[in-house]
Amino acid sequence: MAVTSKKPKTTKTVRKAPPRKAIVAAAPSRDAPHWTETLSDGTHVVIRPIRKEDAALERAFIRRLSPESRRLRFLGQMNEASDELVKALTDIDYRRDVAFVALVHRDGEKREIGVARYGTNKDGSVCECAIAVADEWRSHGLGVLLMRHLIEVARSRGIRSMFSLDEADNSAMRELAKFLGFRRARDPDDATQVIHTLTLQ
């Protein structure tokens, strides 16, 4: 996944972590809690729950990722995201799952530059996470910011552990996971992959 473990120079939170009810809403509204954060280069980004109306932003984000970044994010080669995939990535049931998108304004348009998400198992005790940051926005601390919000919400919901399944050669994810306190182990079912695990409770 295209991420970075570099710590941002400042982390400015305009709003406190949102209350549990607001985050677990089945369909976040436009006034749902969000955060304005500052990256290490001084850029301000908005982080908020992704919505199904963001489908075009998500498709454009995936299209702009380099082939290598798409391989690391989706654990395989992919040229174009299907309609079914984009729908699955944006139409989130927030009663169980969470996805946060990072947005900036560039050249007069809103642009997605990163996204982090998790999905829970059947009993809600464990969640699998994934993160991607646009290639040109690496090394600014965005991966850390997105993951910290994701981890905070998972803990507030009582989820016991979070894990990520990654390519073994994904050095950026290895650094980010280590920085955030994840344990790393080989995937017993696939020698080309690793499992990063974080105990939350």
Where helices occur in the chain by DSSP H, the ranges are 20-23, 55-64, 67-74, 83-90, 142-156, 171-180
Angstrom distance (rounded) from CA 59 to CA 115: 12
Is the separation of the CB atoms in 126 and 91 below 8 Å?
no
Say which CATH superfamily domain 20-159 falls into: Gcn5-related N-acetyltransferase (GNAT) (3.40.630.30)
Angstrom distance (rounded) from CA 147 to CA 129: 9
Which residues does 51 contact at the CB level (< 8 Å), separation at least 6? 27, 28, 90
> What average pLDDT does range 44-66 have in this prediction?
97
> What average pLDDT does range 48-59 have in this prediction?
97
What is the domain partition of the chain in residue ranges? 20-159
- Mean pLDDT estimate for the chain: 88
pTM of the model: 0.84
Quickly list DSSP for 80-112: S--HHHHHHHHS--TTT-EEEEEEEEETTEEEE
